[in-house]
Copies of this chain bind each other. A is one copy, B any other.
């Protein structure tokens, strides 16, 4: 095999597929990037068996062939080469030579035949949306997925399509994040749970703007994202996702509007007093026109008041400050509005159109 690339084409392709190279694995072949130039064109593939990424690379095929190269090492070498033409050659013993200007690397590759290929997905059921929107709604919800594998469904996000509406939902048992967007046209209904890791990696690869499209194909067990020169295939998480709509409610006793940055900075300061492992809540007292935040820990105490607009009853309610900060950071609005019923019931941060809803469970506190 003999292929010629520009450094920038080569490096961007490596960076894309690198997202599907597992950190730890018992199968060394999965730590490789497969370079396939047996047919027309050149494709790079990586696959951790849950998530597979394949991308087409622009380059000249001088001699057809296929080789698997250790991904980390390959990417480090290419990154450090001069910004010039790079030639990759391999022989029948899987010896790889990488040439760039007067620099010559020899490393040992592996047979491409041993590689675990990406499953073939039937491209039947599909939706389209802009790369920009998909990236946005992933970033605005992904932090609510659970890291913990004890409930597999919580490590994923629900993607639901009804007519021309798409909803992305994440929850971790203490909070829920929901983002709704309108699609350009109506599609068949979809209700799948996509692994959080898949969505997180996709949000890093999607570089396109509002005009650039991503196609998403669904089968019973897989989802396939297609954009630019790249396809990402992921297994779905099996099982029935939580009944979200039953958890939502528009009733409230208190409605509060507050400047988002001031609120966020104030909670951020207060959380300085919380040492790791210490689960002190921030106590929010809402009266007419003023919200008072208080926190007390071994390290000291802090209180601060903010001007707010309030409707309804006064309330004193406690929160895990991190949950509130995460939600506020995911909202672009200058002013946010939140709704509470009582100190035991969920608090909702949402806008009028409900394009976003963040539910946060309050915590008990001793006043």
Interface residues of chain A, those whose CB is within 8 Å of chain B, are 73, 76-77, 80-82, 102-108, 265-266, 268-269, 272-273, 299-306
Contact = CB atoms under 8 A, between A and B. Distances in A.
Q: What copy number does this chain have within its complex? A: 2
B104 A304 contact: yes
Contacts of A301: 105-106
B103 A266 contact: yes
Contacts of A272: 73, 76-77, 80
Contacts of A106: 300-302
B103 A269 contact: yes
A123 to B, nearest CB: 40
22 contacts: A76-B272, A77-B269, A80-B265, A80-B269, A80-B272, A81-B269, A82-B265, A102-B304, A102-B305, A102-B306, A103-B303, A104-B302, A104-B303, A104-B304, A105-B269, A105-B273, A105-B301, A105-B302, A106-B301, A107-B299, A107-B300, A108-B300
Nearest to A103: B304
Nearest to A307: B102
- 8 closest residue pairs by CB, A with B: A107-B300, A103-B304, A80-B269, A106-B301, A105-B302, A102-B305, A106-B300, A76-B272
A298 to B, nearest CB: 10
A304 B77 CA distance: 13
